[in-house]
A and B are shown apart, each in its own frame.
Chain A
Amino acid sequence: DAGVTQSPTHLIKTRGQHVTLRCSPISGHKSVSWYQQVLGQGPQFIFQYYEKEERGRGNFPDRFSARQFPNYSSELNVNALLLGDSALYLCASSFGAAGVYNSPLHFGNGTRLTVT
């Protein structure tokens, strides 16, 4: 079975640009979550989508947005990039809402974003 897939794997952008990151969940999973992991720290929650609706939003500015498509894949968009947005962006999927009962999150390999 294919796991969570993310694209691209690496990306270099300049301050002020915008970026779109993509994620395909495990087949049958309806929930997609996005996390930002800065080097040396644990991942931080950005968004959760379940059945194509936003179910949760972490403490990130409005420059960050996301959506989920009918096939349950998802995009994360970041506008007006700042140097501090450089991080590993992780997508995770689960069958139900995150971590409920026997539905833990399964992570993709992430997109390494570097903002110069």
Chain B
Amino acid sequence: EDKVVQSPLSLVVHEGDTVTLNCSYEVTNFRSLLWYKQEKKAPTFLFMLTSSGIEKKSGRLSSILDKKELFSILNITATQTGDSAIYLCAVELFDNNAGNMLTFGGGTRLMVKP
């Protein structure tokens, strides 16, 4: 069975701290790994990773994929209160019944205190 596991489940830090969120996966027919940020409703797209070892960066956020060890990390440096959210990791895979689909992890709830 395909599965995506995120850790930690939740995290409380203070502004200015650096955090690392983890995502490990066991899936067949892997195509890509995506990170989303969910504040109240709509998950918003952060990164899509398809190749191992190539870091993607956007401001204070960065992410990298290791296809050999089957995991990805999302780093946030100099955290701000606006980074408080649930961070979702999703793996895109091809399933014979479902076609191309995203399988999500349970999310990491990040709270940044002033």
Expressed in whole angstroms, the Cα–Cα distance for A110 and B40 within the complex equals 10
Would you call B42 and A90 a contact (CB within 8 A)?
yes
Residue numbers of B with Cβ under 8 A of A are 4, 31-32, 34, 36, 41-45, 48, 88, 90, 92, 95, 97-107
Residue A108 at the chain B interface, CB threshold 8 Å: yes
Expressed in whole angstroms, the Cα–Cα distance for A56 and B48 within the complex equals 21
Give the shortest distance, in Å, between A16 (CB) and chain B (any CB).
27
Chain A interface residue bracket vs B: 20 to 34
Would you call B42 and A56 a contact (CB within 8 A)?
no
Q: DSSP majority for the A interface? A: loop
Residue A8 at the chain B interface, CB threshold 8 Å: no
Would you call A109 and B101 a contact (CB within 8 A)?
no
- Among B41, B95, B99, the residue within 8 A (CB) of A110 is B41
Would you call A56 and B97 a contact (CB within 8 A)?
yes
- Among A35, A90, A104, the residue within 8 A (CB) of B45 is A104
Would you call A58 and B42 a contact (CB within 8 A)?
no
- Among B98, B100, B105, the residue within 8 A (CB) of A100 is B100
Would you call A98 and B100 a contact (CB within 8 A)?
yes
